[in-house]
Chains A and B, each alone.
Chain A
Amino acid sequence: MNLEAVSVPEEALPAVLRTPPVLEGPVSPGSLDDQVLAPVERKPPAAWFIAITCTSILMLLGLALMGYTVATGIGVWGNNIPVAWAFDIINFVFWIGIGHAGTLISAILLLFRARWRNSISRFAEAMTIFAVIVAGIFPALHVGRPWLAFWLFPYPNQRAIWPNFRSPLMWDVFAVSTYFSVSLLFWYLGLMPDFASLRDRTKGRIRKFFYAVLAAGWRGSASHWRHFEKAYLIIAGIATGLVLSVHSVVSFDFAVALVPGWHMTIFPPYFVTGAIFAGFAMVVMAMVVVRETMNLKNLITMYHLDVMNKIILTCSCLMAYAYMMEGWTAWYSMNEYIHHTFWEYIAGTYGWAGWLTITCNTIIPQLFWVRRFRRSYPAMLVVAAAVTVGMWFERFVIIVSSLHQDFMPSAWQVYKPTLVDLGILLGSFGLFFTLVLLFARVLPVIATTEMKAVLPGGQPRHGGGSHE
């Protein structure tokens, strides 16, 4: 076959078909190190100090209120029967979800060999770890006596009591702790070569020691790389399963119950999609800030943001499908209890939250069908903020709206959060962003080793002229 006759040079193709480069401008391995590792070695700018002051204040507010909760008891929250679960579980599900984008980017896109992921994977993975840390606080608080939270773990004990393995809350303990361990391992493994670069570059002795310990004797020898690549792929494979399993188990908390509105078979894939959706929105917001403030525009390009926004659009359509199927099943089941709950979602006490969810998650992101909006900061910030709000309220609707009118009308109650609830929610954002800012200060925000693989000449060309 004469392939020369049919192959069109890239420049001759219509713009929409061309593949943009994954980085812009001349970048060499040396300049890449300088660009990415330099912020770690410099004194941070004033803006960073202002930002971390704000987030720390929020964090301290949250911590103080958590302390107040533990000291007083969870009666300081708005939860009460029938709404036994509220902000605590909403926040837990919300933050666990935020983590999922990181795992998808680092693991699934790695297996798909999507090379554009390389410059955003490190940051997204870091966000995963911080999000899971924040999420883990809430169930611990909700048990009421966090100092006994270790009872959740099954170990032979003198009380001769085992946790209830048939409870999905127990499955959560395993799912989330596995998720955290694997994410941390994956992140640390990817960081090792970068730690070694930092060790070799930094001047300060304390820092050098710190990075040297973390680099764990990495010398960059061929056998190091061989093992590294192998381990990285295997952990990516494990992490891929976790993208599905963690939020599926979280969804089981609801779906195995007999509560109308919770017992839906679509919950597992629907929760996973929502998690990736919210996570990507958070990553896009963070990436916009990072590329603007840390001088990384040539590594995190508009193309990256464009692709991430397409993923947000895809997730939005999938969410619309899930909402549609929920509404459809509510009707098709011909079950009066499900009818009632679904009616409550859109026209009940919290109907406004239902519509806010639908608008933010399925209508506003449709802007991204237009290329111009996928590449405009204001548009992406609006959509990302909408998705963050929408996904938080989605969990609010699922949890509070379904619970506040249960099977016994005499127990029906309108739930109202207290100021403590709101303060802890704000505090969780403060804690998350404080961790993110610290990370941006002490660790390279881009995996330089992975970026070197996509530099020109970074990959051996296979079979380049063998098709004549």
Chain B
Amino acid sequence: MNESGTRKTLVVGAVAGLAGVIATGFVAGWERFWVNWILWFVFILTIGLGCLFIVALEHVVGARWSVPLRRVPERLSGLVILMVPAALLALIALPILYPWTNAEVLRDPVVGGKAVWLNVPFFVIRVLLCAGLWILAYLLLVRGSIRQDQAGDPRFNVRARRFAPVFMIIFGITITIVAFDWISSLEPAWYSDVFGVYIFAGTFLAGLAATTLAVLYLMARGRLPGVTPDHVYNLGGFLFAFVVFWSYIGFAQYLLMWYANMPEEVFWYKERLQGIWGALVLVLAVVHFFVPFLVLIPREAKSEPKRLVWIASAMLVAHWLDLYWMIYPVLGKGALFSWPELSFGIFFIASSFLWIRHAMTRGADMPVGDPFLREGLEFRI
């Protein structure tokens, strides 16, 4: 398909998706509308945040091999900006989906005790604060990098190197807020102190998967000249490592709650292990761990495009399933997947693609002004 044809398809998709999205509210109910909204917005947001984290990580550790690829996660991290209005809109969902907004629920001593943290004004402040910090990071790290394309001023690298470690701290705190506010507080009685790390693991893995897919796409079209299978190998290696990390955190959280079997925390898992949700956990274990783990073990698998495309796509699907499994049960209607879910998917994905295509018109495909580009291109295992 030619360029304008793709664009037309995406626009049509987004509009059709939007129609389905709006219809969901009126036909299937606003609860279902908002649960989908939260699910898809967190999904896209975490992909963007994962990419922003990858960009910052390169600056923190001073990696050179990844310089030729850096524009890819930089552009993808624009999804965070796209999701800021989505987050603001999602605030409407607070009284509909989040039990702690209900005065009746607040009478329960456990949830009521948390009202200092779980209240609408403070929630809004946290959302605004996170959004502001992400936009700041985006401007400093991504816009600065695009501006460097022309002048090639190494002072950008110095600034990025100074700011990136600070961003790591910001990231750690904000991703934890995302985890506890948007996901965990759907069940306000529940608590797990590793939950922020768990969401971080999924976020980073999703960012890596999206980056890998985009890199392979651009490479296949000859738009990343000089990037070799050795660069791809490193992406494959990271995917492998963080598949294990996600599984480790996920399993540790489950094991500890299952073993202790304390009603005040295990109810969260109990809800998510019954019926269809229990089956979904098995699917998650297979798709999010066993398959990528086994497929990526051989050395050649980590740089072979065909296998990596499959695995990276599966990781994105798995990340979505993971969020679906955590968020959707609050609806209490089982694992629904029908036209509303599909419409939301089409709407969010098509809008994201349009946004990324727009981002791709700005700056070169590689950070051509970066003084380390050459060294990065010379990287061999």
CB within 8 Å for A14 and B154 given contacts A333-B191, A334-B110: yes
Chain A residues with Cβ below 8 Å from B237 are: 111
Bound-state CA distance A173–B225 (Å) is: 52
Bound-state CA distance A321–B155 (Å) is: 31
Interface residues of A in 326-351 (CB under 8 A from B): 326, 328-329, 332-335
Chain A residues with Cβ below 8 Å from B172 are: 317, 321
Closest to B299 in A: A233
Judge whether A325 and B176 touch: CB under 8 Å: yes
Chain B residues with Cβ below 8 Å from A8 are: 152, 154, 371
Q: Could you jot down 11 A-B contacts, CB within 8 Å?
A: A6-B152, A6-B368, A17-B158, A17-B372, A252-B256, A255-B256, A257-B260, A258-B262, A263-B262, A269-B249, A467-B374
Bound-state CA distance A396–B225 (Å) is: 56
Interface size on A, residues (CB 8 A): 43
- CB within 8 A of A467: which of B62, B169, B378? B378
- CB within 8 A of B197: which of A17, A257, A269, A333? A269
Bound-state CA distance A12–B157 (Å) is: 13
- Does B25 have its Cβ within 8 Å of any Cβ on chain A? no
Where chain B touches its partner, the secondary structure class is: helix
- Does B273 have its Cβ within 8 Å of any Cβ on chain A? no
CB within 8 Å for A17 and B374 given contacts A8-B154, A266-B197: no
What 0/1 pattern do residues 242 to 286 of A give for CB contact below 8 A with B? Answer: 001000100010011110000111111100000000000000000
Closest to B158 in A: A14
Expressed in whole angstroms, the minimum distance between the Cβ of B48 and any Cβ of chain A is 22
CB within 8 Å for A6 and B374 given contacts A265-B252, A332-B117, A467-B226: yes
Bound-state CA distance A332–B118 (Å) is: 10
Bound-state CA distance A149–B348 (Å) is: 60
Expressed in whole angstroms, the minimum distance between the Cβ of B333 and any Cβ of chain A is 28
Chain B residues with Cβ below 8 Å from A258 are: 260, 262
Chain B residues with Cβ below 8 Å from A13 are: 154, 371
A contact residues vs B (CB 8 Å cutoff): 1, 3, 5-8, 12-14, 16-17, 19, 111, 113, 241, 244, 248, 252, 255-258, 263-269, 317, 321, 325-326, 328-329, 332-335, 462-464, 467
Judge whether A464 and B378 touch: CB under 8 Å: yes
Chain A residues with Cβ below 8 Å from B249 are: 268-269
- Does B95 have its Cβ within 8 Å of any Cβ on chain A? no
Bound-state CA distance A1–B369 (Å) is: 12
CB within 8 Å for A263 and B369 given contacts A14-B155, A19-B62, A325-B196: no
Judge whether B161 and A332 touch: CB under 8 Å: no
CB within 8 Å for A265 and B194 given contacts A17-B157, A17-B158, A332-B117: yes
Chain B residues with Cβ below 8 Å from A14 are: 154-155, 157-158
- Does B104 have its Cβ within 8 Å of any Cβ on chain A? no
Judge whether B374 and A462 touch: CB under 8 Å: no
Chain A residues with Cβ below 8 Å from B322 are: none
- CB within 8 A of B62: which of A17, A265, A334, A464? A17
CB within 8 Å for A328 and B193 given contacts A248-B252, A467-B226: yes
Judge whether B193 and A326 touch: CB under 8 Å: yes
- Does B109 have its Cβ within 8 Å of any Cβ on chain A? yes
Bound-state CA distance A467–B68 (Å) is: 13
Bound-state CA distance A267–B154 (Å) is: 42
Chain A residues with Cβ below 8 Å from B380 are: 462-463
CB within 8 Å for A256 and B378 given contacts A6-B373, A17-B157, A265-B194: no
Bound-state CA distance A268–B62 (Å) is: 29
Judge whether A263 and B256 touch: CB under 8 Å: yes
Judge whether B256 and A334 touch: CB under 8 Å: no
